[in-house]
Structure 1
């Protein structure tokens, strides 16, 4: 007989599925309603007055009045919000600031409002409930669940709570899951990532872990420590562990490594959360892509990535997107972000309903020679090249080598292997062949003798972790970029003697 909590979860999942289908079956109408409500709600803010929101009736009106901005371009408004002023980007004051890194001026402070915060929580919840509705699997809700995340300790910033997004979300775990949640509050508050993971291992080893969640690279670190400490596969230590929830990076480069560490296959749910919004989650186990959240207080625009840096790139809504095109995603939200470039590129895998994959970052690409290589291509090439082999990759990044000691320039692949393969050059040939097949610009440069085929530089065991530690970004939401158009990471790996 099914226990009470799993039974209730199934009933709740059925209700949520009905609600999700209702808006996802009316995508254009749903987005139009969101758009009009956002404009109406913010008309009396400083930003709304500056951009004449009262006269905006159509998407074209919005395009005419509100230019695309990244954080730096919006910063003059954000600074006022951070200083404690009200009604600047959104009505009143935000509930939180999610602190992130990565801009030229240092930390970013992304507002989370009374209206936007619930959408983060609901999307994470609904991802699990949609999985239950599809598979019927709900027994895991009686077991222990873990999310490897940042510290939940928050600071005060002019009357607004400030912290990492994952730490803020930790305050919103539903009461019915509090007893199931791990690690303990005390362990979660540990700042040093390596110390924290050790403590998490000690806490979780005696428990019946059923769900494990986090960015794959850091969950991998947790799994490796469990295996080192017990001498067993993770799936043998946690016999009822059958669901892995992840976000932040593509899981495919990690999949074979994880299956080896776990000792068997487990179901997985991919999430697309960011400080700016919880954009999508995987709603079907057998469908590629994640369901775009069209009813969560966010209005989406898309620009073809190839035209993004043109003077006036065309901005379109979901109604006009096409499958397989690489788009820069622009969002306007009930947290007060307007025509905001989050920096991600996406491709639609389905338009009934609208599902996306994250194909890369508009700033993370290689085009030192006009090749326009994106993250999705390098990830696929590596997966394609290792698919029928026993090769297991722990981590990798790619950078251009413009001035080699001899010969033509090339793309240098820095790869950390679980076990280094005997024939690195054969692997490089397979990767390069896949790159040529995927990217016609790259193919032309190889055939035209502008570039030579890729070269692989092997990174020492735990080399990428050591690099991230050296720049103060070990753990949490931090991750290695798949691509760089410069050699900042590449040179650091050499300087710190992290390559073989």
Structure 2
């Protein structure tokens, strides 16, 4: 079964892979053609009429006539489309809605059309073909793909549209059946409403899968949290696994497997490779805020290849791991991409300079036009004339430990909602990675300080990625620490570091804080 499934995947991805490789030296042609197709297909939409698509004959004219937009600027159109109005952003119908974080309101609703789905498929096919070519070990076993949020109801809707695809592996097109056959975990587990049940069953099926060869997750913390649960709950999981395996495996094989797992899970810091001796590749985010978490995963599986996922977000498929060289290759036919430099000038993909960092602007088949992702990428090389990109972080003040993308405006809104703006003089939220990713709330000391832990946690959950990361254990709960003269101590710390405080605005969110600042604040804890 495993050999046949991987063989079908290799056959089905071959043509797309060959076409992608052939186009690596024609990024301008690919990009201009992609944009022309999107403009032609959607000229009759409400957005197309408002932005004079009928007059656009080139990428340069598109840049001149359509302004760069954030989510708030596109939201009125998205709201109309979600409400059931046809032809607002695309002539194609909306298939479903995906939610993500990063807006001042906490949640963004992103529509998906068939063209939008194909933009992901057009990345995933050459990625898989290249993975099989470079890492043949993945074809010797089964796989685990963490794609859809756990516990999402198939009946959940926003407006008239379904939230999420009703079928698993929707982004993989014709590969869907083969990937389901290879999955170490049954598809129906994604429908379990209770997190504890989902986690328990996921752990059991992964521990039962001795031939696991490929793991595909977004944040590395998703997988490390599953591993943490295996160690924590081994005393409960292994007896259940014994009963589960006894029905299909010889008694001697079951004893050997359980003994191996007991030994591996007993050591809290040990190498976990013996659990899955055929694990060849773990695909996950490895850049920016995920770098340290990916290194933790590598230490747990020193023999496995930790593959950077590239830049794939809810909004757009931008880049993916492919070929030799650093970074990930631009998905030149999956959307139209612009790159804004520090001076505010927008550059096309065929006009980029190696070593330069840019803010990414995307135009997609699902109806995002010149959408400002706030993602920062650095050009680290070229294949042909197609740029290779490395994600280096988020522009502006956005904290992103596990994919939650908390903006400072959103955090400030949450702080105001729980009354800190009225009852407390100042509050500061700081991203923390030790001993487990979480957010710390520093606030001016007062008798009610401890009450704000759960209140802020609940408000931050208006961001769906934060809520999900908390639910599955990627993020720990908010930890509040009352501090005497919080703002004064922050200013004195900055002065000590040689930073001018003239006109200094009081920050509400820090993506990271140095150990000296944390120590200074903790020393004043009430």
Provide the C-alpha distance between the structure 1 equivalents of 2:202 and 2:317, rounded to a whole number of angstroms.
26
1:10–1:136 Cα contact (<8 Å) kept = no
1:416 to 431, 434, 440: 434
Distance 2:338 2:308 in 1: 25
Q: Determine the C-alpha separation between the residues in 2 that align with 1:316 and 1:93.
A: 31
Structure 1 residues 168 and 86 mapped into 2: Cα distance closer, same or farther (>3 Å)?
Answer: farther
Whether the 8 Å contact between 2:23 and 2:30 is mirrored in structure 1 is yes
1:245 matched to 2:290? The reply is: no
Aligned equivalent of 1:273 = 312
- 1:437-456 aligned at under 5 Å gives the runs none
Match of 1:461 in 2: none
Deviation at 1:191, TM superposition (A): 4.4
| Equivalent residue, structure 1, for 2:445 | none
State the distance in 2 between where 1:178 and 1:320 align.
41
Cα RMSD over matched residues? Answer: 4.1
Query: In structure 2, do the counterparts of structure 1 residues 202 and 300 end up closer, same or farther at CA, with 3 Å as the change threshold?
Result: same
Q: Do residues 356 (structure 1) and 389 (structure 2) align?
A: yes
1:209 maps to 212
TM-score (norm 1): 0.70
The residue aligned with 1:423 is none
Match for residue 17 of structure 2? 17
Q: Which residue of 2 aligns with 1:261?
A: 300
Q: With structure 2 as the length reference, what TM-score do the two structures score?
A: 0.67
d(CA) in 1 for partners of 2:143 and 2:227?
16
Deviation at 1:178, TM superposition (A): 1.5
Q: Note closer, same or farther for the CA distance 1:476–1:237 as it changes in structure 2 (3 Å cut).
A: same
Structure 1 residue 255: Cα displacement? 3.7
Residue in structure 1 matched with residue 225 of structure 2 by the alignment: 221
Aligned CA distance change for structure 1 residues 295 and 92 (closer, same or farther; 3 Å): closer
Q: State the distance in 2 between where 1:252 and 1:324 align.
A: 19
1:314, CA displacement in angstroms? Answer: 1.8
How many residue pairs get aligned? The number is 402
**1:17: Cα distance to partner?**
3.0
State the shift of 1:13 in Å: 5.1
Instruction: Write the distance in 1 (CA, Å) between the matches of 2:52 and 2:205.
Output: 55
Q: In structure 1, what is the Cα distance between the partners aligned to 2:398 and 2:178?
A: 43
C-alpha separation in 2, matches of 1:165 and 1:327? 36
- Any gaps of 5 or more consecutive residues in structure 2? 235-261, 265-270, 409-428, 437-452, 476-505
Superposition deviation, residue 216 in structure 1 = 0.3
1:45 Cα deviation (Å)? 0.7
Counterpart in 2 of 1:90? Answer: 90
Q: Which string of whole-angstrom CA distances, capped at 9 and with x for unpartnered residues, describes residues 88-128 of structure 1?
A: 11104211111123322342111111211122234234312
1:121/1:496 Cα in 2 relative to 1: closer, same or farther (>3 Å)?
farther
Identify the residue that residue 28 of structure 1 maps to in structure 2: 28
Asked if 1:183 is matched to 2:193, the reply is no
Matched, 1:301 2:338: yes
The 1:490–1:321 alpha-carbon spacing in structure 2 relative to 1, beyond 3 Å, is closer
Q: Which residue of 2 aligns with 1:487?
A: 509
Q: 1:325: Cα distance to partner? A: 1.5
The farther-off stretch of 100-109 and 148-157 is: 148-157
Find the partner of 1:198 among 200, 206, 209: 200
What corresponds to 1:80 in structure 2? 80
In structure 2, relative to structure 1, the CA distance for the partners of 1:79 and 1:475 (3 Å cut) is: closer
Q: Is the 8 A contact 1:283 1:290 kept in 2?
A: yes
Q: Which consecutive residues of structure 1, in runs of 5 or more, have no partner in the other structure?
A: 308-312, 367-374, 380-396, 400-410, 419-463
* Bigger proportion of residues as helix: 2
Paired with 1:263 and 1:469, the residues of 2 have a C-alpha distance of 38
Per chain length, whose mean CA-contact separation is higher, i.e. which structure has more relative contact order (CA < 8 Å, sep 6+)?
Answer: 2
Distance 1:468 1:163 in 2: 25
In structure 1, C-alpha distance between the alignment counterparts of 2:388 and 2:302, rounded to whole Å: 30
> Distance in 2 between the 1:52 and 1:413 partners?
43
Higher CA-based Rg: 2
Shift of 1:277: 1.5
Task: Give distance in 2, aligned partners of 1:496 and 1:46.
Answer: 54
Q: Deviation digits for residues 368-423 of structure 1, max 9, x if unmatched?
A: xxxxxxx9xxx9xxxxxxxxxxxxxxxxx9x9xxxxxxxxxxx98844158xxxxx
Q: 1:117 to 1:6 in 2, by over 3 A?
A: closer
SS in 1 for 2:23: helix
Partner of 2:359: helix, strand, or coil?
A: strand
Aligned partners of 1:44, 1:225: CA distance in 2, in Å? Answer: 52
Q: Are the structure 2 counterparts of residues 289 and 203 from structure 1 closer, same or farther at C-alpha, using a change threshold of 3 Å?
A: same
Tell me the residue number matched to 1:110: 110
1:160 aligned onto 2:193: no
Distance of 1:414 and 1:119 partners within structure 2: 35
